[in-house]
Amino acid sequence: MHRYPRNLIGYGPTPPDPAWPGGAKIAVSFVLNYEEGGENNLLHGDAASEAFLSEIVGAAPWPGQRHWNMESNYEYGARAGFWRLHRLFTGAKIPLTVYGVTTALARSPEQLWAMQEAGWEIASHGLKWIEHKDMTEEEERGHMEEAVRLHTEVVGTPPQGWYTGRCSMNTVKLAAELGMDWVSDTIDDDLPYWLPVGDRNQLVIPYTMDANDMRFAVAAGFGGGDEFFTYLKDSFDALYAEGQAGAAKMMSIGMHCRILGRPGRIMALKRFLDYAQSHAGVWFPRRIDIAKHWKAVHPPSRFGLKPSQMDRETFVKTFGGIVEHSPWVAERAFDLELGPAHDRAVGLQNALVRVLRSASDEEKLAVLKLHPDLAGKLQQAKRLTPESEDEQSSAGLTALTDAERATFTARNEAYQSKFGFPFIIAAKDNTKATIMAAFETRLANDRETEFRTACAQVERIVYHRLKDLLP
């Protein structure tokens, strides 16, 4: 049994309508990362200086030493950059979510006061702005629990949302265990979604690494304000157009005090604020506002059937009849690498038909022979499987005239005589008339062509049967 944990399908081709308040075409979420005073520093008990997201591109940690220029860069964010951003957003009357590193908030009481006075949401950005990838699960849990304790002490209320950023494979699970209303340690979608974590449904509000000023601090990032503005505008335009077409989305914009708070960059942000506010139907929520809306409009629901999470007995019992009277197909499919993508109709169809495609010709022929004739004796005797009965009925084959039934009988016999297996066609793709026409066309085929055609039709039948069971 092989199970693949990553979810590569998400909402698939038809994401839900978020139904944003007021019929908004787009939700634009601004996030300010407040990390100044929480970064790696010997003063904070760390082994080396900070090296991440600064004006010093390509900086490396200095083990056992403080880094004056790095510290100064971070200090700019707290001393000047924060206040420039605060003036811009309070003037525009657009609320923010702050990803607040707890130790940084504790060292910046005036900035914290200003955030609270402005009505900004203050979420947790972890205890310290450090890497978590090498921590044990218990060590990271301890950091996160202490972050919540200190956040509650410093802010006055516990955090409702979580974003570590420099996270580990355990971060989202641990945040869910802490009972967060939302978690943003993903960059995998344009809409929120519910993630099963144990017995809990955790709301995930994906973040962004592209519409993010951090790209000013990396080698292949934004070269100047015009590039930043253009990228934000293009992202907004694409998502706004999708919203106008009935598929509204969410746009996240990531900001850092020491990066976007610089005077040479903030005017690009101001141009974007003006541009976004010039459009009708734009919602500027905090992330907690998105979470409350999603919970009310799209509450969690665990779809009843999860093939990738079933044991063998349940899987075969549930899907053993999808390929007509051939449970061995489901038995072999269970042993494939299944994951969340196979919890949907197209995904599980692919797993089942992979088994058929790799089967021997003798096995394939046996599957073909197990299918009933169309409008044949089994149908007349009401001995079809429920699936076959439904399929033949959908094409009108259970209500034939005597003349039509005689025609079907004659063609079934001619087909069986020539090819040695029943005529198979996905009835739900057809009508009585198109099936009659297909009989004529396919009777002229050679056996090899018709064998391949019949197998392809079995694959279509598998899809239709799964479509009635899975998303």
CA-to-CA distance for 139 and 11, rounded, in angstroms? 34
The residue among 235, 257, 308, 15 whose CA lies nearest residue 112 is: 257
Handedness of CA 266, 272, 275, 276 (dihedral sign): negative
Non-local CB neighbours of 323 within 8 Å, separated by 6+ positions: 329, 330, 352, 356, 367, 458, 462
- The pLDDT value recorded for residue 302 is 62
- The pLDDT value recorded for residue 220 is 77
CA-to-CA distance for 180 and 203, rounded, in angstroms? 8
Percent helix, percent strand, percent coil in the chain, to nearest 5? 50, 10, 40
φ/ψ of residue 184, rounded to 5: -120, 15
CB 57 within 8 A of CB 219: yes
Ranges of the chain whose pLDDT falls below 50: 381
- The pLDDT value recorded for residue 379 is 58
One DSSP character per residue, 74-118 reads HHHIIIIIHHHHHHHHHHHT---EEEE-HHHHHT-HHHHHHHHHT
Hey, what's the torsion of the CAs at 193, 198, 199, 203, to 10 degrees? -20
Total-model pTM: 0.88
CB 327 within 8 A of CB 294: no
CB 130 within 8 A of CB 53: no
Q: Write out the H or E segment, with its range, that includes residue 29.
A: strand 26-34
The residue among 104, 96, 118 whose CA lies nearest residue 37 is: 104
- The pLDDT value recorded for residue 198 is 87
Non-local CB neighbours of 452 within 8 Å, separated by 6+ positions: none
Q: Can you tell me which residue has the tokens 């015009």? A: 226
- Annotated catalytic residues are 371
- The pLDDT value recorded for residue 404 is 82
Per the structure block, which two tokens stand in for 456? 């392809």
